[in-house]
């Protein structure tokens, strides 16, 4: 059985309001063919979970993002991705900014079907869980 799909076929299965995790780290190793296909689609009101780069900025600029869960959104040499920064300053997206380690543990817990992973990371902070 061939498990390969075209980007358009993948995006056709997505619906408004879904939560999407985008892999990669900042501007590296991103599924940009899928991001470009989402940009061409009518999808909206997405919750995006990512260690963000240009992918997040492009989706914010196109008005696709309702909420962003992130540890950072950077282009490395540009500390804040410009389109993300503009959307955040304008208040056009909801945000949940968390520590890189807490994000990793939250993603790992979700992958394992757990509500959380016990850790001392984040003690004494006012952060919210990935599910809030």
Tokens representing 93 are: 């997206």
pLDDT class for 127, splitting at 50, 70, 90? low
pLDDT tens for 61-78 read 999 999 999 999 999 888
Q: pTM for the full model?
A: 0.88
Alpha helices in the chain (DSSP H): 7-12, 32-40, 54-61, 82-90, 100-111
Report the relative pairing of strands 19-22 and 94-97 from DSSP bridges: unpaired
The domains located in the chain, with CATH, are: 7-99 (3.40.1080.10)
As a whole number of angstroms, the distance between CA 10 and CA 129 comes to 28
Q: Residue 128: pLDDT above 70?
A: no
Tell me the torsion sign for CA atoms 67, 13, 111, 26: negative
Residue keyed to tokens 């985008």? 22
Residue keyed to tokens 């300053």? 89
What average pLDDT does this structure show over 17-35?
94
Whose CA is closest to 78, among 36, 23, 27?
27
As a whole number of angstroms, the distance between CA 79 and CA 114 comes to 33
Q: Residue 49: pLDDT above 50?
A: yes
DSSP character at residue 115: S
Contact 68, 96 (CB under 8 A): yes
As a whole number of angstroms, the distance between CA 50 and CA 24 comes to 8
pLDDT tens for 78-123 read 889 999 999 999 999 999 998 898 899 999 999 999 998 988 887 7
């Amino acid at each position: 059985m061939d498990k390969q799909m075209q980007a358009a076929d993948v995006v056709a299965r997505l619906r408004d309001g879904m939560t999407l995790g985008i892999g990669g780290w900042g501007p590296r190793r991103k599924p940009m063919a899928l991001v470009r296909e989402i940009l061409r689609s009518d999808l909206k009101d997405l919750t995006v979970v990512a260690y963000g780069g240009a992918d997040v900025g492009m989706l914010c600029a196109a008005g696709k993002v309702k909420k962003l869960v992130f540890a950072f959104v950077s282009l490395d040499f540009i500390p804040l991705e410009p389109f993300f920064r503009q959307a955040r300053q304008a208040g056009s997206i909801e945000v949940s900014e968390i520590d890189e380690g807490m994000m990793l543990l939250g993603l790992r817990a979700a992958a394992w079907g757990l509500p959380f992973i016990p850790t001392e990371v984040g003690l004494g902070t006012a952060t919210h869980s990935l599910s809030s």
